[in-house]
A and B are shown apart, each in its own frame.
Chain A
Amino acid sequence: MELVMIIVIGFLFAAATYLMLSKSLLRIIIGTGLLSHGAHLLLLTMGGLKEGAPPLLGEHAERYVDPLPQALILTAIVISFGVTAFFLVLAYRSYQELGTDNMEQMRGKEEDD
């Protein structure tokens, strides 16, 4: 099971890298989304994918899945939500101000403004 997950995560990372190397800013942001998906799935996989009950003591199971990676992922998800929301608004503002979403045209120094 871990092997399948690792291959899928590898595809996510490849797609994220490809998108982040493109010219359009929105594609880049989609790439960062895929990258954080990959990272979160990786945390889950690396914690181990063995059979077990959900980590709720009310389940009275013999063994539970590891609760720590789930807490880490939850933290990482909200952080990347915050950053992505900020990044999207930043992209919107710079589209308004600079009039382009092409990264090739976002060059230059203060003299060019």
Chain B
Amino acid sequence: MINLLLLPILIPLVTAILLIFFKDRVVWQKALSLVAILFQLAASVLLVRRVYLEGIQTLNIGSWPAPFGITLVSDMLSALLVLTTSIVALACLIYSFYAIGKEREKFYYYSFFQFLLVGVNGAFTTGDIFNLFVFFEVMLMSSYVLLVLGGTKMQLRETIKYTLVNVISSALFVIAVGYLYAVTGTLNMAHLSIRIAELGQSSVLTIIAVLFLIVFGLKGAIFPLYFWLPGSYYAPPTPVLALFGGLLTKVGVYSILRTFTLLFYHDTSYTHALLGWLSMATIVVGVIGAIAYRNLRQIVIYNIIVAVGVITFGISLMSPESLEGSIFYLLQDMVMKSVLFLLVGIVVYVTGTNDLNKFSGLIQSYPLLGWLFFIVALSLAGVPPFSGFIGKLLIVKASLTEGLLFEAIIVLLSSLLVLYSVMKIFMNGFWGEKKGYEPKPIGALYVPVVFLILLSVLYGVGIEFIRPFIVEATSVLVDPMIYIQAVLKE
């Protein structure tokens, strides 16, 4: 079964096509998409196991040998990301069943949901730079539609901005691919890596590296290219937002991670130092936003930006320890950001407002919700038994090993302020006297939230169990030859 790594792309694709045929049968739509996600989850678990036992999996589409055809590559990092995507998608799908509403469901909501997963899984798995562009477009096109579906005024307005920014960044991506092709004459990432190593990263390649940083930075919202995110992520309904917050920016971060460890790793004093400074600025900007607002969604949105900054800072250090920390942090952050948006969605469902000044005392009617939120807040900040700890610990440790004391302090301070920003929600919203809401049942909405929180707590407690996988993922990033040999079979 050499096609195993294709299944996480193929299953949602086939499902999305099937879902087009019976748009009015909402129950069937739900059933089919749930079954498909479960199959996808099973396939990605098998894939992680296969990569762990047998090493990097590659598949030459159409049996054309490696640099000439399109090659799909699943190393441990992309297998783990595909697995995390499936988990996040399962939770968001279950939440959608109860929250998205008939008028959206009847207009191909689940179809677009599956197409988004095709794009994300494809972007994580591909080994060809132009194919990466195509999967980016699949993902972005679905995200445009999911963002605007429903057609309220705010959605229309914000979709215009989001679409414009992404059209520009896609054009820049095409331009960057054109330049890279002119210099190297190939598009396969492993082959590109060899050619770039032969050229020894001349100055033109450094320019192309910075252009790729701009492109992926626009997708992944790093400073100063994050400006579109606060508005666009304010508009869509909760399950869509949880999906976006969990997956979309992380694809940009993954692309930075891949290109800066596989392709442009020769002149780190310029490109990686630049990435380091931009990451610092990203963290600072995110933290300022997170403590400035008293609006639930805005706080979480700026927390996304902080996390992106922390992960890219880990990438910029380029030591095995910091890369390991970045992967640890990336995986848990995908889960934590979606769960946070889902929790905020439940709070808004109960209170009918995003404004933190308008309600308080939720814990008197919803003790479970309150304590779940408390756990999430602690995990987000990186308090030891929970999931966000080990990633930040490794990044800070690597930063101190490199002698970057100032940067390490900023990362630690950002944890404190992130904790303050979510505790602000907890203390103002959940404590205090009861006002601003009427208790109503929220039964089934708990299911996906509890599922994700349980997983994240297990992730935090079971680090020793997960670590071998992360170490294997890091080894490929540290030594690109492993990746190249797996693809080109020299």
Q: Interface on A for B, CB 8 Å cutoff?
A: 20, 25, 28, 32, 35-36, 38-40, 42-43, 45-48, 68-69, 72, 75-76, 79-80, 82-83, 86-87, 90-91, 93-94, 97-98, 106, 108-110, 113
Contacts and interface: CB of A to CB of B under 8 A. Distances in A.
Chain A binding surface SS class: helix
Contact of B182 (A28, A47, A79, A109): A47
Given A86-B145, A93-B151, 17 more contacts: A25-B160, A32-B164, A32-B168, A36-B174, A39-B174, A47-B178, A68-B187, A72-B130, A80-B167, A83-B170, A87-B163, A87-B167, A94-B156, A97-B156, A106-B160, A108-B157, A113-B154
A83 to B, nearest CB: 6
Contacts of B137: 79, 83
Nearest to B68: A68
**Looking at chain B, what size class is its interface with the partner chain?**
20 to 34
B153 A36 contact: no
Given A28-B164, A98-B153, A113-B153, A86 B144 contact: yes
Contacts of B182: 46-48
A65 to B, nearest CB: 14
B448 to A, nearest CB: 25
Given A39-B175, A42-B175, A69-B181, A98 B156 contact: yes
Contacts of B141: 82-83, 86
Interface string B108-150: 0000000000000000000000100110010001001100100
Contacts of B160: 25, 90-91, 94, 106
Contacts of A35: 167-168, 171
Contacts of A39: 171, 174-175, 178
Contacts of B151: 93, 97
A90 B174 contact: no
Contacts, number: 96
B148 A43 contact: no
Contacts of B174: 36, 39-40, 42-43, 76
A113 B235 CA distance: 12
Query: Which of A39, A68, A69, A91 gathers the greatest number of chain B CB atoms within 10 Å?
Result: A39
A113 B168 contact: no
B203 interface: no
B234 interface: yes
A40 B175 CA distance: 8
Contacts of A46: 178-179, 181-182
Interface in B173-196: 174-175, 177-179, 181-182, 187
Nearest to B183: A46
The 8 lowest CB-CB distance pairs between A and B, nearest first, are A46-B182, A46-B178, A94-B156, A39-B174, A43-B178, A39-B171, A113-B153, A35-B171
A86 B163 CA distance: 9
B134 A79 contact: yes
Given A28-B164, A93-B156, A109 B144 contact: no
Query: Which of B141, B144, B177 gathers the greatest number of chain A CB atoms within 10 Å?
Result: B177
